[in-house]
Amino acid sequence: MTKRAFLKATLTQAAMALLLVTPVTSAQAQTTPIKFQLDWRFEGPAALFLTPAAKGYFKDAKLDVVIDAGNGSGGTVTRVASGAYDMGFADLAALMEFHANNPDAPSKPIAIMMVYNDTPASVMALKKSGIKTPADLNGKKLGAPVFDAGRRAFPIFSKANNITGVQWTAMDPPLRETMLVRGDVDAITGFTFTSLLNLEARGVKAEDVVVLPYPDFGVKLYGNVIIASPKILKENPAAVKAFLVAFAKGMKDVMANPAAAIADVKARDGIVNVELETRRLKLAIDTVINSPNARAEGFGQINGPRLSLMASQVSDAFNTKSRVNPDVVWNGSYLPTKAELNVLTAKK
């Protein structure tokens, strides 16, 4: 082979190799990275997000989604506001509080999909305390972390049930159920599917626990929502919509087989108790995801008057600097179609 022929062959091979590589590089360039933070640790409900990730639904939507654990809804809202995360999962009341207390903040996250149609907050006590109804809480000592959603919203619960004279004891989250078992407090507030199972883990039988769910006693607050930063909503609305479609697809799988979904949580945190977290996920589904309100309003969606009432209640209970404007904390225009949101199963 002549030198000229050799160079021509080499250039041809190089050109062909470039053509083979170019499409892959182009596809990679179209992938959108999204940093997502949960509201809490990798427990049962985290499967709602870990399952679509594990099944490749986000990847199929050309999204590179990184999911991190959280340490409370307030922290998640703040981190999305700061730009550290693009999206997150947080209590709607915490988002409302941030908006009302930071009216001049340059970046205020927006709620774009309802997940917990009812607040998971409840008051829990041991039967031996004699507490059976909200009225029995008058003058009692309650305990919860200062940032606990149930504690923050307790003024709404107390107003609806004429409760007075409550004394509060603050503690770190791991001590909440322990202090109730020891008798240091008469009752605690917390998410039902978190504290109830934590009490069982401390040797308390479920039948020995009194649970007073907020939604059952006049508190119609919404619970956790998917939130997004104004930046990603403005710069890449298509990616946000793709995320919600993939999430809804994963939700169908989780609803159909919660036990299988826990394997995706176990893959992220190898020390989780599979049986316990399966029960926690099922409890969350039954109480706040597939609730009567959720089925009436439609998964992912909200009821306007109910949202306005919550905004007013949060403004009063949290004593915010300005009134919560429901029109700026929620934007449902990124939601998938009704068919894609059809994830709730009929109650048996």
| b/e map 29-63, b = 16+ CB within 10 Å | eeebebbbbbbbbbbbbbbbbbbbbbbebbeebeb
Q: What is the pLDDT of residue 21?
A: 47
Banded model confidence at residue 345, pLDDT cuts 50, 70, 90: confident
Banded model confidence at residue 19, pLDDT cuts 50, 70, 90: very low
**pTM score, two decimals?**
0.89
Percent of the chain with pLDDT over 90: 89
Banded model confidence at residue 30, pLDDT cuts 50, 70, 90: confident
Q: Which tokens belong to 308?
A: 């306005």
Q: How far apart are CA 30 and CA 135, in angstroms?
A: 58
Q: Which tokens belong to 77?
A: 């809202």
Q: What is the pLDDT of residue 122?
A: 97
Count CB atoms within 10 A of the CB of residue 232.
Answer: 21
Q: How far apart are CA 116 and CA 103, in angstroms?
A: 26
- Give, for 297, the enclosing helix (H) or strand (E): helix 292-297
Tens digit of pLDDT for each residue in 142-157? 999 998 999 999 999 9
Tens digit of pLDDT for each residue in 165-206? 999 999 999 999 999 999 999 999 999 999 999 999 899 999
Q: Are 278 and 259 in contact (CB under 8 A)?
A: yes
Domains of the chain (ranges plus CATH)?
33-118+222-334 (3.40.190.10), 121-217 (3.40.190.10)
Considering only residues 184 and 347, tell me which one the structure prediction assigns the higher pLDDT. Answer: 184
